[in-house]
Amino acid sequence: GAVVSQHPSWVICKSGTSVKIECRSLDFQATTMFWYRQFPKQSLMLMATSNEGSKATYEQGVEKDKFLINHASLTLSTLTVTSAHPEDSSFYICSVDSGRSSYEQYFGPGTRLTVT
Amino acid sequence: GQNIDQPTEMTATEGAIVQINCTYQTSGFNGLFWYQQHAGEAPTFLSYNVLDGLEEKGRFSSFLSRSKGYSYLLLKELQMKDSASYLCAVDNAGNMLTFGGGTRLMVKP
Protein backbone atom coordinates (compact mmCIF):
# COMPACT_ATOMS: atom_id res chain seq x y z
CA GLY A 1 0.00 0.00 0.00
CA ALA A 2 0.88 3.66 -0.18
CA VAL A 3 3.13 5.27 2.41
CA VAL A 4 1.88 8.66 3.55
CA SER A 5 3.79 11.14 5.68
CA GLN A 6 2.77 14.36 7.36
CA HIS A 7 4.88 17.22 8.54
CA PRO A 8 5.06 18.45 11.19
CA SER A 9 3.84 15.71 13.50
CA TRP A 10 2.95 18.36 16.05
CA VAL A 11 3.00 22.14 16.17
CA ILE A 12 2.20 24.83 18.71
CA CYS A 13 1.41 28.28 17.42
CA LYS A 14 0.08 31.55 18.75
CA SER A 15 -3.41 32.75 18.07
CA GLY A 16 -3.61 34.79 14.88
CA THR A 17 -0.72 33.12 13.11
CA SER A 18 -0.87 30.71 10.19
CA VAL A 19 0.32 27.13 10.13
CA LYS A 20 1.07 24.94 7.13
CA ILE A 21 0.73 21.16 7.29
CA GLU A 22 2.19 18.98 4.56
CA CYS A 23 0.91 15.62 3.41
CA ARG A 24 3.16 13.58 1.18
CA SER A 25 2.51 10.37 -0.67
CA LEU A 26 5.94 8.78 -0.67
CA ASP A 27 5.50 5.92 -3.10
CA PHE A 28 2.27 6.61 -4.92
CA GLN A 29 1.02 9.35 -7.20
CA ALA A 30 -2.08 10.68 -5.53
CA THR A 31 -4.58 12.49 -7.70
CA THR A 32 -6.87 12.84 -4.72
CA MET A 33 -6.11 13.38 -1.08
CA PHE A 34 -8.50 13.94 1.81
CA TRP A 35 -8.08 16.13 4.86
CA TYR A 36 -9.77 15.19 8.13
CA ARG A 37 -9.98 16.87 11.49
CA GLN A 38 -10.40 15.03 14.76
CA PHE A 39 -11.19 16.71 18.08
CA PRO A 40 -10.38 14.91 21.32
CA LYS A 41 -12.52 11.84 21.93
CA GLN A 42 -14.37 12.40 18.68
CA SER A 43 -14.23 10.71 15.33
CA LEU A 44 -12.74 11.91 12.09
CA MET A 45 -14.61 14.61 10.23
CA LEU A 46 -13.89 15.11 6.55
CA MET A 47 -12.89 18.71 5.90
CA ALA A 48 -12.11 18.72 2.21
CA THR A 49 -11.11 16.73 -0.82
CA SER A 50 -7.87 17.89 -2.37
CA ASN A 51 -7.57 17.41 -6.13
CA GLU A 52 -4.24 17.71 -7.93
CA GLY A 53 -4.17 20.70 -10.23
CA SER A 54 -7.59 22.00 -9.30
CA LYS A 55 -9.47 23.58 -6.44
CA ALA A 56 -10.29 21.61 -3.34
CA THR A 57 -13.84 20.61 -2.53
CA TYR A 58 -14.84 21.64 0.97
CA GLU A 59 -17.43 20.00 3.19
CA GLN A 60 -20.34 22.01 4.47
CA GLY A 61 -19.36 24.21 7.37
CA VAL A 62 -15.63 24.28 6.57
CA GLU A 63 -14.36 27.77 5.69
CA LYS A 64 -12.31 27.55 2.53
CA ASP A 65 -10.69 30.94 3.17
CA LYS A 66 -9.51 29.78 6.56
CA PHE A 67 -8.31 26.32 5.59
CA LEU A 68 -6.32 26.77 2.41
CA ILE A 69 -5.53 23.62 0.49
CA ASN A 70 -2.97 23.38 -2.26
CA HIS A 71 -2.35 20.19 -4.23
CA ALA A 72 0.28 21.29 -6.67
CA SER A 73 1.83 17.92 -7.39
CA LEU A 74 0.85 14.27 -7.35
CA THR A 75 2.83 13.67 -4.17
CA LEU A 76 2.12 16.73 -2.05
CA SER A 77 -0.94 18.42 -0.60
CA THR A 78 -0.73 21.22 1.95
CA LEU A 79 -3.28 22.50 4.42
CA THR A 80 -2.74 26.00 5.77
CA VAL A 81 -4.71 27.07 8.80
CA THR A 82 -4.87 30.85 8.54
CA SER A 83 -5.37 33.17 11.49
CA ALA A 84 -5.48 30.21 13.83
CA HIS A 85 -7.60 30.34 16.97
CA PRO A 86 -7.61 28.04 20.00
CA GLU A 87 -10.74 26.32 18.70
CA ASP A 88 -8.70 25.19 15.67
CA SER A 89 -6.59 23.05 17.99
CA SER A 90 -7.14 19.53 16.73
CA PHE A 91 -5.58 16.46 15.17
CA TYR A 92 -5.37 16.88 11.39
CA ILE A 93 -5.06 13.72 9.31
CA CYS A 94 -4.67 13.35 5.58
CA SER A 95 -5.36 10.31 3.47
CA VAL A 96 -4.48 9.26 -0.02
CA ASP A 97 -7.03 7.85 -2.41
CA SER A 98 -5.57 5.22 -4.70
CA GLY A 99 -8.41 5.79 -7.14
CA ARG A 100 -9.25 2.11 -7.33
CA SER A 101 -11.57 1.81 -4.37
CA SER A 102 -11.79 3.34 -0.94
CA TYR A 103 -10.50 0.01 0.33
CA GLU A 104 -7.17 1.50 -0.57
CA GLN A 105 -7.40 4.84 1.18
CA TYR A 106 -4.19 5.25 3.15
CA PHE A 107 -3.92 7.55 6.15
CA GLY A 108 -1.01 9.72 7.20
CA PRO A 109 0.22 9.70 10.82
CA GLY A 110 -1.56 12.96 11.66
CA THR A 111 -0.51 16.40 12.86
CA ARG A 112 -1.39 17.65 16.32
CA LEU A 113 -2.05 21.41 16.22
CA THR A 114 -2.26 23.40 19.44
CA VAL A 115 -3.13 27.08 19.23
CA THR A 116 -2.35 29.11 22.35
CA GLY B 1 -28.26 12.97 5.59
CA GLN B 2 -25.69 10.60 6.94
CA ASN B 3 -26.03 8.94 10.33
CA ILE B 4 -23.64 6.36 11.72
CA ASP B 5 -24.09 5.17 15.31
CA GLN B 6 -21.85 3.08 17.51
CA PRO B 7 -21.47 2.82 21.29
CA THR B 8 -19.18 5.39 22.85
CA GLU B 9 -17.32 3.07 25.20
CA MET B 10 -17.00 -0.62 25.96
CA THR B 11 -15.00 -2.59 28.50
CA ALA B 12 -13.96 -6.21 28.18
CA THR B 13 -11.61 -8.67 29.83
CA GLU B 14 -8.36 -9.96 28.40
CA GLY B 15 -8.95 -13.26 26.58
CA ALA B 16 -12.67 -12.62 26.10
CA ILE B 17 -14.72 -11.84 23.01
CA VAL B 18 -16.28 -8.44 22.34
CA GLN B 19 -18.71 -7.31 19.66
CA ILE B 20 -18.88 -3.67 18.61
CA ASN B 21 -22.04 -2.72 16.76
CA CYS B 22 -22.56 -0.07 14.12
CA THR B 23 -25.81 1.05 12.53
CA TYR B 24 -25.94 3.40 9.59
CA GLN B 25 -28.32 5.41 7.49
CA THR B 26 -26.65 6.92 4.47
CA SER B 27 -27.77 8.25 1.12
CA GLY B 28 -25.53 5.78 -0.71
CA PHE B 29 -23.51 2.71 0.10
CA ASN B 30 -20.31 1.49 -1.50
CA GLY B 31 -18.98 -0.46 1.46
CA LEU B 32 -18.38 -0.33 5.21
CA PHE B 33 -15.03 -0.15 6.90
CA TRP B 34 -13.71 -0.75 10.37
CA TYR B 35 -10.58 1.05 11.53
CA GLN B 36 -8.55 0.80 14.71
CA GLN B 37 -7.10 3.97 16.14
CA HIS B 38 -4.76 4.27 19.10
CA ALA B 39 -4.65 7.60 20.87
CA GLY B 40 -2.67 10.19 18.95
CA GLU B 41 -2.20 7.97 15.94
CA ALA B 42 -3.81 7.65 12.53
CA PRO B 43 -6.47 5.01 11.91
CA THR B 44 -5.35 1.65 10.63
CA PHE B 45 -7.50 -0.46 8.35
CA LEU B 46 -9.11 -3.57 9.84
CA SER B 47 -11.84 -4.73 7.50
CA TYR B 48 -14.05 -3.93 4.54
CA ASN B 49 -17.52 -5.33 3.84
CA VAL B 50 -19.60 -4.62 0.77
CA LEU B 51 -21.67 -7.81 0.60
CA ASP B 52 -23.84 -9.27 3.35
CA GLY B 53 -22.18 -11.78 5.58
CA LEU B 54 -19.18 -12.38 7.76
CA GLU B 55 -15.58 -11.63 6.84
CA GLU B 56 -13.03 -13.30 9.09
CA LYS B 57 -9.44 -12.22 9.42
CA GLY B 58 -7.53 -13.78 12.27
CA ARG B 59 -8.85 -12.62 15.63
CA PHE B 60 -11.03 -9.99 13.98
CA SER B 61 -14.27 -10.60 12.07
CA SER B 62 -16.73 -8.15 10.58
CA PHE B 63 -20.35 -8.70 9.67
CA LEU B 64 -22.65 -6.72 7.41
CA SER B 65 -26.39 -6.69 6.79
CA ARG B 66 -27.21 -4.11 4.14
CA SER B 67 -30.97 -4.58 4.49
CA LYS B 68 -30.74 -3.74 8.19
CA GLY B 69 -28.08 -1.05 7.88
CA TYR B 70 -26.06 -2.92 10.47
CA SER B 71 -22.53 -4.11 10.98
CA TYR B 72 -20.48 -5.45 13.82
CA LEU B 73 -16.81 -5.99 14.53
CA LEU B 74 -15.98 -9.07 16.55
CA LEU B 75 -12.71 -9.27 18.43
CA LYS B 76 -11.69 -12.64 19.84
CA GLU B 77 -9.01 -13.60 22.37
CA LEU B 78 -8.72 -10.01 23.47
CA GLN B 79 -5.26 -8.69 24.25
CA MET B 80 -4.30 -5.61 26.22
CA LYS B 81 -2.97 -4.02 23.03
CA ASP B 82 -6.50 -4.14 21.58
CA SER B 83 -7.41 -1.22 23.84
CA ALA B 84 -8.11 1.48 21.28
CA SER B 85 -10.89 3.29 19.48
CA TYR B 86 -12.71 1.40 16.76
CA LEU B 87 -14.20 3.47 13.97
CA CYS B 88 -17.01 2.40 11.70
CA ALA B 89 -17.01 4.24 8.37
CA VAL B 90 -19.25 4.11 5.31
CA ASP B 91 -18.21 4.85 1.76
CA ASN B 92 -21.37 6.52 0.57
CA ALA B 93 -20.11 8.00 -2.67
CA GLY B 94 -16.96 8.70 -4.61
CA ASN B 95 -14.51 7.04 -2.25
CA MET B 96 -15.43 9.50 0.50
CA LEU B 97 -15.72 8.05 3.96
CA THR B 98 -18.18 9.13 6.63
CA PHE B 99 -17.08 8.04 10.07
CA GLY B 100 -19.11 7.11 13.11
CA GLY B 101 -18.21 8.58 16.46
CA GLY B 102 -15.93 5.70 17.36
CA THR B 103 -16.07 3.17 20.19
CA ARG B 104 -13.40 3.35 22.87
CA LEU B 105 -12.59 -0.17 23.96
CA MET B 106 -10.81 -0.79 27.24
CA VAL B 107 -9.37 -4.24 27.79
CA LYS B 108 -8.79 -5.11 31.43
CA PRO B 109 -6.61 -7.88 32.84
Q: How far is B26 from chain A (nearest CA, A)?
A: 15
Provide the β-strand partners of residue B108.
B13
pLDDT digit string (tens) for B63-97?
A: 999 999 999 999 999 999 999 999 999 988 766 78
Task: Give me the phi and psi of A102, to 5 degrees please.
Answer: -70, -5
For B4-60, the pLDDT digits (tens) are 999 999 999 999 999 999 999 988 888 999 999 998 888 888 999 999 999 998 999
The reported pLDDT for the residue numbered A66 is 96
CA distance A7 to chain B (A): 14
Considering only CB atoms, which chain B residues are within 8 Å of A97?
95
DSSP code of residue A59: P
Burial A2-18 (b: 16+ CB within 10 A, else e): bebebeeeebebeeeee
Interface test with B, best of A43, A51, A114 (most B CBs within 10 A): A43
Chain A residue with minimal CA distance to B96? A102
pLDDT of residue A61: 92
Which stretch of A4-13, A107-116, B36-45, B80-89 has the lowest confidence by average pLDDT?
B36-45
Out of B31, B95, B101, the one facing A97 most closely (by C-beta) is B95
CA distance B26 to A85: 33
pLDDT at A31: 86
- The alpha-helical segments, DSSP class H, found in B1-109 are none
The answer to whether the CB atoms of A46 and B101 lie below 8 A apart is no
- First vs last C-alpha separation in chain A: 37
Which bin fits B27, alpha (ψ -120 to 50), beta or left (φ > 0)? alpha
Q: For residue A94, what are the β-bridge partners?
A: A35
Tally: H helices and E strands in chain A: 0, 11
Which of B49, B96, B98, B106 best probes binding to A when mutated, by most A CB atoms within 10 angstroms? B96
Cβ-Cβ contacts under 8 Å between A and B: the total is 53
Contact yes or no for A97 and B98 at CB 8 A: no
Q: Would you state the pLDDT for residue B59?
A: 96
Interface test with B, best of A62, A103, A106, A112 (most B CBs within 10 A): A103
What is the distance between the alpha carbons of residues B48 and A101, in angstroms, rounded to a whole number? Answer: 11
User: Which of left, alpha, beta for B31 (phi over 0: left; psi -120 to 50: alpha)?
Assistant: left
